[in-house]
Amino acid sequence: MEGTKIFYKKMRFRAPILIVGLPGMGNVGDLVAKHLRTELKAKKFATLYSAHFPFQVLMFKDGKFRMVSNRFYYYADPKGKHDIILLLGDTQPGDSVGQYAVNERIVEFFKMLGGKTVYTIGGYSLGNQYVKEPRVFGVGTDERMRDYLKKQGVVLPLADLTPIFGSAGMVVAFSKRHGLAGACIMGETGMVEVDANSAKAVLQVLSRMLGIKVNLGSIEKIKANTEKLLKDMEESAKSAQQQDMKPQSYIR
């Protein structure tokens, strides 16, 4: 197999909106996309494979397996206005050639489905500190989108030339090149690998933007677990420090 392949069921969508949530910083994109998939009971209709993904197969307890992939799910808008397409996956391409090829392919595929709007989800890190009240940052393809983001309470980047690594940035950049409207929406994050608190903040903004209601119960649970863990770690660090401050015997 060479390059990138998408296997898909032929379907018709109504002015679909694409949400891209792949593994990345704080796993914010991944958490958001998976939560939406569950909440919206979205159905898979396409799978993307790439020769630039890791050469891995994933096994399951029932004896099934599959190659690592990115997968497209859809949710039919009950009001018939904007169907939602979710892109989630196990991985992103590991090299430049793969990132440029796969991310443009995603945009071309979505365009072929009649799509005009793309939201990519990522993390925005300002340091190595857990963020208790994460802000939601964003950039947009055009003036109208940027105004819309600001109205939704999305914060613009704090510094010029701040980088976005990987698909969250590349997909929205290719969207712009292909004439689609789009935004990269990023939850403030730091320190933790799976940041449910940041994902929650993004979900609150995003669900408002999409006009859908999303139960945040399961995300709240991950958040509570993470914060409990962090508190325990902090306390054990503190007591270790006190140990260190005890007078030490001068004979070693």
* Contacting residues toward a second copy, per CB under 8 A: 1-2, 51-67, 93-101, 103-104, 138-140, 146, 149-150, 156-166, 169-170, 172-174, 184, 250-251
Task: Give the chain's radius of gyration (CA, Å).
Answer: 20
Give Cβ neighbours of residue 69 (< 8 Å, ≥ 6 apart). Answer: 47, 48, 49, 53, 89, 90
| The residue type at 201 | A
Give Cβ neighbours of residue 2 (< 8 Å, ≥ 6 apart). Answer: 51
Q: Which lies closer to a second copy via its Cβ, residue 134 or residue 169?
A: 169
Helix or strand (DSSP H, E) at 37: helix 28-39
Rounded least distance, CB 78 to a second copy, Å? 32
Rounded least distance, CB 107 to a second copy, Å? 10
Rounded least distance, CB 38 to a second copy, Å? 16
Q: Calculate the dihedral angle through the C-alpha atoms of 127, 128, 130, 135, rounding to the nearest 10 degrees.
A: 20
Sheet of 136-140, strand order: 4-8, 43-50, 70-75, 84-89, 17-20, 117-125, 181-189, 136-140
Query: How many residues would you count in the chain?
Result: 252
Rounded least distance, CB 51 to a second copy, Å? 4
Biggest CA pair distance of the chain: 79
Q: Which lies closer to a second copy via its Cβ, residue 186 or residue 210?
A: 186
Q: Which lies closer to a second copy via its Cβ, residue 13 or residue 124?
A: 124
Return d(Cα 30, Cα 121) in angstroms, integer: 8
Rounded least distance, CB 57 to a second copy, Å? 3
Rounded least distance, CB 241 to a second copy, Å? 21
Q: Which lies closer to a second copy via its Cβ, residue 113 or residue 145?
A: 145
Q: Which lies closer to a second copy via its Cβ, residue 156 or residue 229?
A: 156
Q: Which lies closer to a second copy via its Cβ, residue 16 or residue 169?
A: 169
